[in-house]
């Protein structure tokens, strides 16, 4: 009798503990969240405690001798002590640095950030953005003043008549990238004319023009209305496959709208981009190119990798300067048989007329005429 009572008590205790764990998982964001602390630094995923993206950025000061500057540390001191998965560090850099030539700064001297405070209530002026980013050079180019950058990323932004979006993006993206100790340039690819917007073709133009300036390690393809919410979302490429970075946008309740979605923000190496023949030139209007791009990635023998949804979070600006009134978002219909067209529609057939290329204080603006072909013509 005594034994059966003990067994009964143990069983009830087991049921209670199991239910408690189940409730914690259910209301705490899923099982992945239970183990998230093992892989992420303290504060990297606590969106209830966001911080200013400019926090501690002024502590990066110019090295006494630029020609003798050390390599930047493999881990930016402003990002704390993030533990990357095995093998990731090796994929980020071309070679292992000499420890004696690495810029060593104890992360204990800095406040880590992770989740960022993002607000669009006040429109920043260009003068104010310039003042807060004193090391950004003409054309929107930046290299760390205190060390030699290990990674070079070109940020390519398709654009037309979206000045408010632009100012908000510049205010947040410059310090965001500087915190990661990247060498980078922001390119604005502006479409002229009254024809429908062609995001994919503008990105093809941006890639071609950007590669004239530098042998970029990574091409970051960035919509102008998206701002990253976590500075552990690294703007660097995956060594092996195209990377989709905007894996959790607020307008989609921080989930993917559909499995093959590749829109918003993505990162590809120049080799990846050419292997899939770039993006299609024949999608006029909003969004229809995403399925085509996802398909050509697979047809080129690659796959899509994604930033963790907990880090790849983005706020979407709700200004409506250039777009017509839209119905509620839905997946655009496919216009082409990508399997038949991808090798004949892309970088190898790109045609455009370069109108101007101007270095502004915070970005390089490339204005182009890309023609216009009515949809479904």
DSSP per residue, 133-164: -TTPBTTTEE--SSSB-S-EEEEEEEESS-HH
Q: Is residue 69 part of a domain?
A: no
Q: Is residue 139 part of a domain?
A: yes
Cα(81)–Cα(75) distance, rounded to whole angstroms? 7
Sequence-ordered list of residues with C-beta below 8 angstroms from that of 154, at least 6 positions apart, any chain: 184, 185, 187, 206, 210, 213, 214, 216, 218, 219, 220
Domain of residue 231 covers 123-318+333-369
Give the pLDDT of residue 295. Answer: 93
Q: Is residue 128 part of a domain?
A: yes
Cα(263)–Cα(32) distance, rounded to whole angstroms? 25
Local structure of 1: helix, strand or coil: coil
Q: Helix %, strand %, coil % for the chain, to 5?
A: 30, 15, 50
Q: Is residue 185 part of a domain?
A: yes
Our count of domains for the chain comes to 1
Do residues 79 and 37 lie in contact, with contact meaning Cβ atoms separated by under 8 Å? no
Q: Is residue 176 part of a domain?
A: yes
- CB-based burial label for 313 (10 Å; 0-12, 13-18, 19+): buried
Mean pLDDT, 10 residues at a time, the chain of 377 residues? 56 65 45 39 64 88 77 78 40 34 37 82 96 97 93 97 96 97 98 91 98 98 97 95 97 91 96 97 83 93 96 87 42 67 95 98 98 65
Strands 364-369 and 353-359: antiparallel
Prediction pTM value: 0.78
Give the pLDDT of residue 151. Answer: 95
| CATH number reported for the structural domain that contains residue 168 in this entry | 3.90.550.10
Do residues 314 and 265 lie in contact, with contact meaning Cβ atoms separated by under 8 Å? yes
Local structure of 57: helix, strand or coil: helix
Q: Is residue 14 part of a domain?
A: no
Strands 265-268 and 218-222: antiparallel
Q: Is residue 146 part of a domain?
A: yes
- DSSP code, position 294: H
Q: Is residue 291 part of a domain?
A: yes
């Amino acid at each position: 009798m005594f034994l059966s009572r003990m067994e009964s008590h143990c069983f009830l205790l087991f049921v209670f503990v199991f239910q408690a764990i189940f409730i914690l998982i259910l209301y705490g964001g899923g099982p992945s969240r239970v183990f998230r602390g093992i892989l992420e630094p303290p504060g990297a995923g606590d969106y209830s405690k966001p911080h200013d993206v400019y926090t501690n950025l002024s502590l990066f000061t110019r090295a006494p001798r630029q020609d003798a500057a050390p390599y930047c540390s493999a881990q930016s001191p402003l990002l704390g002590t993030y533990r990357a998965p095995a093998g990731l560090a090796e994929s980020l850099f071309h070679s292992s640095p000499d420890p004696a030539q690495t810029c060593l700064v104890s992360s204990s001297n800095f406040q880590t950030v992770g989740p960022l405070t993002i607000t669009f209530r006040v429109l920043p002026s260009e003068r104010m953005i310039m003042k807060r980013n004193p090391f950004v050079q003409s054309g929107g180019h930046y290299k760390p003043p205190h060390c030699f950058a290990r990674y070079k990323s070109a940020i390519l932004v398709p654009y037309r008549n979206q000045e408010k979006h632009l100012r908000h993006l510049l205010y947040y993206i410059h310090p965001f990238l500087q915190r990661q100790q990247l060498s980078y340039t922001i390119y604005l690819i502006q479409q002229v004319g009254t024809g429908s917007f062609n995001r994919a073709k503008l990105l093809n133009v941006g890639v071609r023009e950007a590669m004239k300036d530098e042998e970029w390690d990574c091409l970051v393809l960035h919509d102008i209305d998206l701002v990253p919410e976590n500075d552990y979302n690294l703007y660097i490429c995956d060594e092996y496959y195209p990377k989709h970075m905007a894996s959790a946008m607020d307008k989609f309740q921080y989930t993917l709208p559909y499995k093959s979605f590749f829109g918003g923000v993505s990162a590809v190496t120049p080799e990846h981009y050419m292997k899939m023949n770039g993006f299609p030139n024949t999608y006029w209007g909003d969004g229809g190119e995403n399925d085509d791009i996802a398909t050509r990635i697979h047809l080129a023998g690659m796959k899509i990798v994604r930033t963790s949804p907990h880090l790849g979070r983005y706020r979407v600006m709700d200004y409506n300067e250039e777009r017509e009134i839209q119905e509620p978002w839905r997946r655009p219909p496919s216009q082409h048989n990508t399997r038949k067209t991808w090798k004949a529609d892309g970088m190898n057939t790109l045609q455009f007329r370069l109108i101007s290329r101007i270095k502004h204080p915070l970005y390089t603006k490339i204005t182009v005429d890309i023609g216009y072909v009515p949809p479904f013509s």
